[in-house]
Chains A and B, each alone.
Chain A
Amino acid sequence: KQEVTQIPAALSVPEGENLVLNCSFTDSAIYNLQWFRQDPGKGLTSLLLIQSSQREQTSGRLNASLDKSSGRSTLYIAASQPGDSATYLCAGGPVGIKAAGNKLTFGGGTRVLVKP
């Protein structure tokens, strides 16, 4: 069974510092990887999706990499701001046929606090 782990569970950095968030998964064979942001009491907002054939994706200050051989993904947030404070979740899913249903397995999340 696929397992997705995010360490650390919480992270606090001063404003302006770069953030590095880690995600590891046990089954690297067929994975796509998504990163989400969740604000307290709210739903999830998709940040980046890395297809299984890709190694990284970038959007603004965000960059996510995927290394299937080592079973790892990393989310980098450059020049962090207080508005980046949130919980960040990674989730992996199989490439697949209809029956796979695009099921995602989520990590437990990393709660980030960016201090002004």
Chain B
Amino acid sequence: DVKVTQSSRYLVKRTGEKVFLECVQDMDHENMFWYRQDPGLGLRLIYFSYDVKMKEKGDIPEGYSVSREKKERFSLILESASTNQTSMYLCASSLSPAEQETQYFGPGTRLLVL
């Protein structure tokens, strides 16, 4: 069975803190994605990766960075958290970079930045 896990369901951080959101998939997928979801704005792609140590900017990369040292793990880093980064963060993975494959999502991390 497909499984994407995220390190925390809820997180509260202070402005200026460095925040790490971790995502792990157990399906040997090559692609991994980080989205944020906000009311009225829908899901927006922050970063994605189609291979270990490879990363590509999505639509809203500003204020974020990512790390993919191992195939199964994709980390989203908020270098200095700000209140406008309060959001629901969703990680996803898919099998192959060459064809459109179903994306499998984790349960999400709801981040509150005070």
Interface residues of A (CB under 8 A from B): 32, 34, 36, 41-46, 49, 51-52, 89, 91, 93-104, 106-109
Whether B58 is near chain A, meaning CB under 8 Å from some CB there, is yes
Chain B residues lying within 8 Å of A46, measured Cβ to Cβ, are 102-105
Complex contact A108–B102 (CB within 8 A)? no
Complex contact B97–A98 (CB within 8 A)? yes
Bound form: Cα–Cα A108–B90 in Å = 15
Complex contact A102–B100 (CB within 8 A)? yes
1/0 contact string of B88-114 vs chain A (CB within 8 Å)? 001010101111111111111010000
Query: Could you say which of B11-19, B42-50, B66-74 contacts chain A?
Result: B42-50
**Number of B interface residues, CB 8 Å?**
29
Whether B75 is near chain A, meaning CB under 8 Å from some CB there, is no
Complex contact B102–A49 (CB within 8 A)? yes
Whether B25 is near chain A, meaning CB under 8 Å from some CB there, is no
Bound form: Cα–Cα A108–B39 in Å = 9
Q: Which residue of B lies closest to A94 (CB)?
A: B100
Complex contact A49–B100 (CB within 8 A)? yes
Q: Which residue of B lies closest to A4 (CB)?
A: B42
Cβ of B101 to closest chain A Cβ, rounded Å: 7
Bound form: Cα–Cα A100–B100 in Å = 10
Q: Of the candidates A34, A51, A93, A108, which one forms a contact with B42 in the assembled complex, judged by CB atoms under 8 Å apart? A: A108
Chain B residues lying within 8 Å of A44, measured Cβ to Cβ, are 90, 92, 103, 105
Bound form: Cα–Cα A109–B88 in Å = 16
Complex contact B108–A51 (CB within 8 A)? no
Cβ of A106 to closest chain B Cβ, rounded Å: 4
Q: Which residue of A lies closest to B56 (CB)?
A: A101
Q: Of the candidates A52, A99, A104, which one forms a contact with B103 in the assembled complex, judged by CB atoms under 8 Å apart? A: A104
Q: Which of B35-60 contact A (CB under 8 A)?
A: 40, 42-45, 48, 50, 56, 58
Bound form: Cα–Cα A16–B32 in Å = 38
Q: Which residue of B lies closest to A42 (CB)?
A: B107
